[in-house]
Amino acid sequence: MPELPEVETTINGLKNKVLNRTFVNVWTDIRKIIKRPISFNLFLKELKGRRIKGIRRRGKNIIFELSDNYSLLIHQKLTGHLLYGIWENRKGRWLAEDSRLNEKVNSYIHLIFFLDNKKMIALSDLRKFAKVQLWKNNELADSKEFKSLGPEPLDKDFNFNVFKKRLRKGAIKEVLMDQKVIVGIGNIYSDEILWEARVHPLRDASKLTQEELKRIYLSLKKILKKAVKAKGTSISDYRTITGDEGGFGPIRKVYQRTNKKCFYCGAAIERIKIKNRSAHFCPNCQKLL
């Protein structure tokens, strides 16, 4: 699933292309992707003619700020990623002008937004779990799901004290991935952060020492910034809006490196299950005690 660095990269890419453009039409072959309003026709009617005034990220959500106080929210979920270009429908298949956008991983086109400059924003989504909603700004700000989101880890206000106060009981990996605690962190970056901080993923967050917490806090800032700079991780389906791979995959330290050597001590990286997720860690550098 795209995490903070991937969503941030998508937004930075789109900002350069679609600001001040207007939505002129929408196509989809899976109407259930549109969650709000439930009726696709109503969604289309309310979106058409609205101009993109800004684009921002909240957690893993992409938010297009539209004219007339509307917001278009897109959560890419497991395998979704937004692309930008020109597609043409040939015998029921969408083909892009740019050949990179026709690569397999970018070819699961299930939703297209048509803009007033003849360009398009398309959603490629193999598993079809992405979520699209059109909101009135005030209703979005008041929504339960938005109010429950934790703080942004790269905000200046997110200092060590805020971080400490947000934590709860439970395996530290799970706590870091809990969007109510902090937003934007998922499977990849929780593994990377905990390896960097030398803390075992199963350690109880409420029982970590000050020193360990400090290491996790600093690693969190460092890794997320580094991953944004590298334009995210493309080990799975994620690609930038031009269909290119992000650069963090080749420089990662533990995620999906089971049995490979730890870059710090040389021990073999292990993989364990935490509920339905996998955690990757070095059994030597990250001790359970």
**Residue 284 binding Zn ion, by CB under 5 A:** yes
Select from 155, 235, 125 the least CA-distant residue to 191: 235
| Cis preceding-peptide flag for 37 (omega within 30 of 0) | yes
Number of residues that bind Zn ion (CB under 5 A): 7
CB 53 within 8 A of CB 18: no
Residue 257 CB, nearest approach to Zn ion (Å): 11
Closest-approach residue to Zn ion (CB) = 262
Go through the chain and tell me how many residues it has.
289
Q: How far is the CB of 228 from Zn ion (least distance, A)?
A: 25
Report, as residue numbers or ranges, the catalytic residues.
2-3, 60, 277
How many other C-beta atoms are found inside a 10 Å radius of the C-beta of residue 32?
11
Residue 282 binds Zn ion, judged by CB under 5 A: yes
Residue 283 is a binding residue for Zn ion (CB under 5 A) = no
Minimum CB distance to Zn ion smaller for 220 or for 282:
282
Contact 247, 231 (CB under 8 A): yes
Closest CB to Zn ion among residues 247, 283: 283
Give the integer Cα–Cα distance in Å for 171 and 194: 11
Of 28 and 219, CB closest to Zn ion: 219
Could you give the 3-state DSSP secondary structure of residue 257? coil
Contacting residues for 70 by C-beta, under 8 A, at least 6 apart: 46, 47, 50, 134, 135, 136, 137
- Closer by beta carbon to Zn ion, 142 or else 264: 264
Answer yes or no whether residue 199 interacts with Zn ion by CB under 5 A.
Answer: no
Segment interacting with Zn ion (CB under 5 A) among 43-51, 92-100, 116-124, 280-288: 280-288
> Cβ 200 to Zn ion, closest distance in Å?
12
User: Could you tell me if 32 and 1 are in contact, meaning their C-beta atoms sit under 8 angstroms apart?
Assistant: no
Closer to Zn ion by Cβ: residue 161 or 259 = 259
Q: Shortest CA distance to 212 belongs to which of 199, 195, 196?
A: 199
285 binds Zn ion (CB under 5 A): yes
Helix, strand and coil percent figures for the chain, each rounded to 5 = 35, 25, 40
CB 219 → Zn ion: shortest distance, Å? 15
Q: In angstroms, give the least distance from the CB of 203 to Zn ion.
A: 16
Task: Kindly write out the interface string for residues 215-254 of this chain, putting x where it contacts Zn ion by CB under 5 A and - elsewhere.
Answer: ----------------------------------------
Widest Cα–Cα separation across the chain: 61
- To the nearest whole angstrom, how small is the minimum distance from the Cβ of residue 97 to Zn ion? 47
Residues 249-278 that bind Zn ion (CB under 5 A): 262, 264-265, 267
Question: Which among 95-103, 131-139, 166-174, 279-287 is the span making contact with Zn ion, rule CB under 5 A?
Answer: 279-287
Backbone dihedral region of 92: left (phi > 0), alpha (psi from -120 to 50 degrees) or beta? Answer: left
Pairing of strands 131-136, 34-36: parallel
Nearer to Zn ion by Cβ, of 55 and 285: the residue is 285
Residues forming the site for Zn ion (CB under 5 A): 262, 264-265, 267, 282, 284-285
